[in-house]
Amino acid sequence: MKKVGFIGWRGMVGSVLMDRMREENDFNLIESYFYSTSKGGELAPVVPNGSPKILSAMNISELLGMDIIVTCQGGEFTSEMHPLLRNEGWKGFWVDAASTLRMKDSSVIVLDPVNRHIVEQSIRNGVKDFVGGNCTVSLMLIALHGLFKEGLIEWISSMTYQAASGAGAKNMLELLAQMEAVGKTFSKSPSLGALEMEKEVNHFIRQDEFPKSNFGHPLALNLLPWIDSEMPNGQSKEEWKAQVEANKILQTSQVIPIDGTCVRVGALRCHSQALTIKLKKSVDLNTIESLIAGANNWVKLVPNNKLETLSKLTPSAISGKLEIPIGRVRKMSLGDEYLNAFTCGDQLLWGAAEPLRCVLRNLLD
């Protein structure tokens, strides 16, 4: 049995990964070792073939014996420990949720439903670093897999509606705290009309005391049209990732341009995206729909009607689910080669944990 070390398994992505591994009985196939940057020596979670004590994630000698290291600990840990291990001559597989190694030539970005063949070939070719992609990129590629496979896409403009979870667990809780603060403060003002109420509420959420130490701004009753750092070309880093990561995942021979505006909204754990897709040629809508619907086991085509859209294509409808619905699929009035679509996906499942779980299974095979 392969020895697999887990780091960052208590965090949000790590916890979702642990749950999925329990559901799929993955622990039966490995010897598990749980590491922590701070809690070495404490009791480890009980899993089949698991080591009883938590080991120190900062102790190189305790990591060197692993065949596979799976980390959801974050970029700082990767930046510090990955080079140390490799410099020590460690030849194991490094499976990582953080973005640090994603764009390195030595790494492959994993997204099982879309690039499993590339992952498998890379393992045979001796690649050792496997990294999960950015969540919006992964969710978009699973949704549009059928059109990519057919080589139909000339370019995409993606406008995102990203949940608080993408910014971290503290941010999710902060969004709820913001909502609670508004609810508590204004629950007893029924006599005010809508316009007066809006004025007071807006004043309230802009005050310094409003809970916003993580986002820095109100997200409740608001949206934030900037995610991650600034790039020199005016994109946010989140926007920059769409094209570079998608093309790396697909290993395209010619770059497919992908760009848009990434926006944080008040959903909790599901990212949504409105897509404008320029097709390379005119294709009838029935063909497009069947290509999209049949591409992989996870994409679910939602017919373009109001009832099904509003019941099946929303963050609340798909939270906690592995399926990736895509709907609002229609030709745009811009021209016959312009396709409209909207997709939604659980940011912590296919957006983060599930691609790591799948590559771990590949590595065991």
Binding positions for ligand HSE, rule: CB under 6 A: 134-135, 162, 166-167, 227, 238
Closest approach of ligand HSE to the CB of residue 11, in Å? 12
Q: Are 298 and 346 in contact (CB under 8 A)?
A: no
Has 271 been annotated as catalytic?
yes
Our CB check for ligand HSE shows the closer of 32 and 243 to be: 243
Cα 34 to chain centroid, rounded: 23
- Three-state DSSP state, 165: helix
In angstroms, what is the minimal distance from the CB of 135 to ligand HSE? 4
State the residue for tokens 């309230």.
Answer: 204
Considering the complex, what minimum distance in angstroms separates the CB of residue 162 from ligand HSE? 4
Tokens of 254: 């010619």
Burial readout 74-93 (b: 16 or more C-beta within 10 A, e: otherwise): beebbeebbeebeeeebebb
**Rounded Cα gap, residues 234 and 33, in angstroms:** 43
Q: Which of 135, 262, 270, 344 is catalytic?
A: 135
Catalytic residue, candidates 72, 82, 270, 271:
271
Residue among 135 and 142 whose Cβ is closer to ligand HSE: 135
Distance CA 238, CA 261 (A): 9
CB 127 within 8 A of CB 108: yes
Residue nearest to ligand HSE (CB): 166
- Which of 166, 211 has the CB closer to ligand HSE? 166
358 counts as catalytic: no
Rounded-to-integer distance, Cα 197 and Cα 189, Å: 8
Residue closer to ligand HSE (CB basis): 7 or 167: 167
> Minimal distance in Å, beta carbon 351 to ligand HSE?
6
3: left (phi over 0), alpha (psi -120 to 50) or beta: beta
- Cβ 164 to ligand HSE, closest distance in Å? 8
Q: Using CA atoms, how far apart are residues 342 and 364, in angstroms rounded to an integer?
A: 35
Residue closer to ligand HSE (CB basis): 134 or 243: 134
Provide the annotated active-site residues: 135, 271
